[in-house]
Each structure stands twice: as structure tokens, then as C-alpha cells.
Amino acid sequence: MIESEVMCRACGAGALSPILSLGATPLANALLSKEQLDEPEATYPLDLVLCTTCSLVQITETVPAEQLFGEYLYFSSFSDTMLRHACTLATRMVDERHLGPSHRVVEIASNDGYLLQYYQRAGVDVLGVEPARNIARVAEEKGIATVCDFFGEQLAVRLAAEGKRADIIHAHNVLAHVSDLNGVVKGIAAMLVPRGVAIVEVPYIKDLVDRTEFDTIYHEHLCYFSLTALDTLFRRHGLVIWNVERVSIHGGTLRVFASPQGSADPVTPAAANMLADEVKWGVKIPLSYRAFGDNVKGIRAKLRAVLHGLKESGHTVAAYGASAKGSTLLNYSGIGAETLDFVVDRSTVKQGRFTPGTHLPIYPVTMLLEAMPDFVLLLTWNFADEILEQQAAYRAKGGRFVIPIPDVQFI
């Protein structure tokens, strides 16, 4: 059953202003087996709105978390970029916070242990919380202690009572997936030691709007954050965001550092300046988002025209990345088997399946050299540098990539 939101997930206000409708789409990570291709495929409205009270941008539908994350097909360790990102951050935190065996690092939605493994190698105690059963098993097999559950206030209180409070809590690309935002932030506050720090990464709404990254919008991503929205949410539960960094990963990410009120470090100029800049931009004003919707329609029209032109000219076209963002882009744009021959992906758990809605077969990346399509639509454009380097042999033989976001271009 799908629950329609009439109030803001963060502050409870009812002043929600429409920004964009992407129509009814299937669940972005619900890859299909061959046997499922003839079965009815559920679709759900994908509508984006703005809370003019607290500035939180959010979609209006909530698909039950168990349906989305009980079994999951995204493994962070298949991305070299994600591993480098995790290693760099963990190494930095170990040095800056002087972490050792007497400290504990917890990650919410810890996936396959891609981040915690680097703390563990440095001799720090680690604990993952991961609701996807298949992924939690993989983390456990790597030796990463993992609680297979959804993180929230109740679980956090239980873990704290068991003596498992944390010096650092990581929450990377998970807060956007949460319907009970207040429960999760309450849980973070309950698990942190007095001088502890929560490090939270979320897609930044300003980057999403400025770069027309509409493919970041899908049913798993319930919320799209500004620093203003995060600051309001965290302060409600006794946490102070004292520093913020802008990170390029995933097309533009906010990394915030928050600690319990009274023990937080002084608020940095970076955090204060960003809050002021968001006010100037009009973070709570619907007019600030109006051009975004027009730009999304423009990219869809241009991409359809470009790909149609390639096919009309007799070229073959495939796609790289059976990703959630790719599902949004293809389904909203109406691009499927009439244009694309297949999709390739590095993830072995996705290979042999079919894309949601468009039903394109997913092959290993070696298929690019075997079939040599003339062009490849790069659906995982947020990892473009990594993928273009990996596909040097395909490019050397004349293969070209089409990058769809923030503007259609050939590489």
C-alpha cells in the first residue's frame, strides 16, 4: 500500500508547493528476472514538492521501506570511486579524531562494509546497520559486525543500552531514503557519545537544480536537502551542524558534521556562509525552482532527438549502468528497446536481469567490446571519469559515449 504525503516529512507543515512531476514510474532498483517480464509491473507517481516552511524538497509518495530495501541490488564496493571516497574519508577521520581500539564507528545503511572496512583496518571498532538481508550477509562475511535492521530511535536506544554508543556515526546517502526523518536523527543523537560527531552526506538540492539532475529523483530518494533543511531538522533533536563541505561525488553532495548541543565545535564560516547564501538564493521560495522543471523538459526533448537521430542514421546504441538514476531517465524520457539494444553493468548481481519499465537486458561490461555498439548512453554519468578510463579499449576502437546530464554531449 502506498501512502500519500500531505505534510512535510521533517516539520509536519502542510505548505507543500509543486516543483515537478515525472509521471508514474516503476521502482528504480526493481530489476526483473526473465520470468517476471510477462507479469504486471507496478508504477507509482513521482512528484516533487517544496516545503515552504522548512525548505525540505521531497516526493509525495512513500513506498514501504521493506519493499524497497529488504533485498537490494546496489553494492557500493563495485564502484572504485566509492571505495576511494570511503578510504579517503576514513583515513582523515582516524587522523583528525585520533581514533583507536577504544573508539567505535557506526554506519547507518552500511551496505557491504565498503566504508567501515577502512576503519577496521586502522584498528577501530566498527558496527554496521544494514536492512538489506543479502547485503548484510556479505558484510558479515567480510568480518564487519552488522545489525540487519532499519535504523531509528528504538534501535539506537537499544544499542546504546548495550554499550554500543559511537564516537562517529556515518550516514551516507541514506537520510534521503528515510520517511521517518525525525526518528533517525533522534537515533543518531541517542547513540553519539557527548563529544561524538555524526557525518552525514546527502545530495545537495542546489546542485540538483542548477545542473538539472532530475534523474536523482526516484522513489527511494524521498527527500532532497538544503543545509537550511538539515540545520532545522538536527537542531530540533539537540544536534548542531558545525561544519559543512561540498563534495563532487554523485553530482554534488553536502557533507555535514554534527555534534550534540553543548559539545559541538564552533560553527565554521563555511556553514554560516552557506546558510546565508541559501537565504539569498530563495531556498524556501517556489519561484527559485521554477526554471528547473523547464530545463528537465528541455533535456528530455534534446536527448530523445539525439538518440533518435543516431538510430535514423543507422547507428547502434547501448547504455552503461543499470542504475536507479538510469531508470528515472529512461522511463521519464520514454527511451527503451526501440532505441537501446542493451545495458551493461559491472555488478554481477544485476547481470542477467532486465531494467524496470524498459525491460532492457543487462550484460557484463565485456559486452561493449563484443558487440561494439557505435554509441553508449552513460546512465551512471556521476562516475564518468572512472567509467571512461575503464572503457579505454572500447573508446580506442571507435566507440563513443553520450553523456545526458547536465547537458547532452558526446565523448
Of 227, 261, 288, the one marking the end of a domain is 288
212 is a domain residue: yes
How far is it, in rounded angstroms, from Cα 164 to Cα 219? 32
Determine, yes or no, domain membership for 65: no
Task: Report pTM.
Answer: 0.88
Q: What DSSP assignment string belongs to 87-138?
A: HHHHHHHHHHTT--TT-EEEEET-TTSTTHHHHHHTT-EEEEE---HHHHHH
- For residues 309 and 259, state if they share a domain: no
44, β-bridge pairs: 25
For 312-359, how does the pLDDT look when each residue is reduced to its tens digit (9 = 90+)?
999 999 999 999 999 999 999 999 999 999 999 999 989 999 999 999
Q: Which pLDDT belongs to residue 79?
A: 75
Confidence label for 238 from pLDDT (cuts 50, 70 and 90): very high
Question: For residue 252, what pLDDT is reported?
Answer: 81
| The pairing of beta strand 362-363 with beta strand 16-25 | unpaired
pLDDT at 146 over 90: yes
Distances (CA, A) of 68 to 29, 175, 213, 218: 8, 15, 22, 11
Q: Please check whether residues 163 and 224 belong to one and the same domain.
A: yes
Q: Which residue has the higher pLDDT, 358 or 249?
A: 358
Strands 57-59 and 239-247: unpaired
Q: Mean of the per-residue pLDDT values for the chain?
A: 93
Do 161 and 274 lie in a common domain? yes
- What is d(CA 175, CA 119) in angstroms, rounded to the nearest whole number? 22
Distance CA 292, CA 207 (A): 11
Residues 94 and 37 both lie in one domain: no
Q: Can you read off the three cell numbers belonging to residue 350?
A: 544485476
- Based on the domain organization, do 189 and 226 belong to the same domain? yes
CATH of the domain at 382: 3.40.50.720
Which of 235, 254, 288 is the last residue before a domain boundary?
288
Is residue 73's pLDDT more than 60?
no
Give the separation between CA 99 and CA 102, rounded to whole angstroms. Answer: 8
Cell 553519539, located at residue: 192
Q: Between 378 and 66, where is the model more confident?
A: 378
Dist CA 166 CA 126 (whole Å): 9
If asked whether residues 162 and 181 sit together in one domain, one would say: yes
CATH (domain of 193): 3.40.50.150
CB 210 within 8 A of CB 32: no
Q: What is the pLDDT of residue 54?
A: 96
233 and 300 in a single domain? The answer is no
Give the residue, 249 or 299, on which the prediction is more confident: 299
According to DSSP H, which parts of 107-239 are helical? 116-121, 133-141, 153-161, 181-191, 205-210, 227-236
Residue 66 domain-assigned? no
Q: What is the pLDDT of residue 248?
A: 78
- Please compute the mean of the pLDDT values over residues 383-395 and round it to a whole number: 94
For cell 547501448, name the residue: 318
What pLDDT shows up at residue 20? 95
pLDDT digits (tens, 9 = 90+) for 178-189: 889 999 999 999
Specify the 3-state DSSP secondary structure of 36: helix
Looking at the structure, tell me whether residues 296 and 261 fall in a common domain: no
Confirm whether 68 is domain-assigned.
Answer: no
Cβ count near 292 (within 10 Å): 19
If you average pLDDT over residues 14-43, what whole number do you get? Answer: 93
pLDDT at 1 over 70: no
- Indicate if the pLDDT at residue 269 is higher than 50: yes
The label of the residue with cell 516552511 reads 53
Q: What is the pLDDT of residue 78?
A: 64
Residues 112 and 167 in one domain: yes
Strand partners, 171: 108, 200
- Answer for the pair 214, 406: CB distance below 8 angstroms, yes or no: no
Domain count, the chain: 3
49: which strand partners?
Answer: 18, 58
Range of the domain at 390: 291-410
Instruction: Taking each helix axis as running N to C, give the angle between helix 153-161 and helix 181-191, from 0 to 180 degrees, rounded to the nearest 10.
Output: 10
> Are residues 397 and 379 part of one domain?
yes
In this predicted structure, which of 62-66, 190-194, 208-212, 299-303 has the lowest mean pLDDT? 62-66
Examine the pLDDT at 5 and tell me if it is beyond 60: no
Whole-number pLDDT of residue 15: 82
Instruction: Let me know: does 72 contact 27? Beta carbons within 8 Å.
Output: no
Region for 333 from its dihedrals, namely left if φ exceeds 0, alpha if ψ lies in -120 to 50, beta otherwise = alpha
Tally of CA atoms within 13 A in the half-sphere of 149 that contains its CB: 12
Q: Is the pLDDT of residue 94 over 90?
A: yes
67 in a structural domain: no
350/257 same-domain check: no
Q: How many helices (DSSP H) and strands (DSSP E) are in the chain?
A: 14, 19
Place of cell 566507440: 399
Domain boundary among 260, 288, 316: 288
Going by their DSSP bridges, the two strands 400-403 and 409-410 should be labelled as antiparallel
Does residue 356 form part of some domain? yes
**Would you call 396 exposed, middle or buried from its count of C-beta atoms within 10 A (0-12, 13-18, 19+)?**
exposed
Q: Which pLDDT band, with edges at 50, 70 and 90, does 259 fall under? A: very high
Backbone angles phi, psi at 359, to 5 degrees: 60, 40
Please give the pLDDT value at position 2: 39
Quick one: 24 and 117 in the same domain?
no
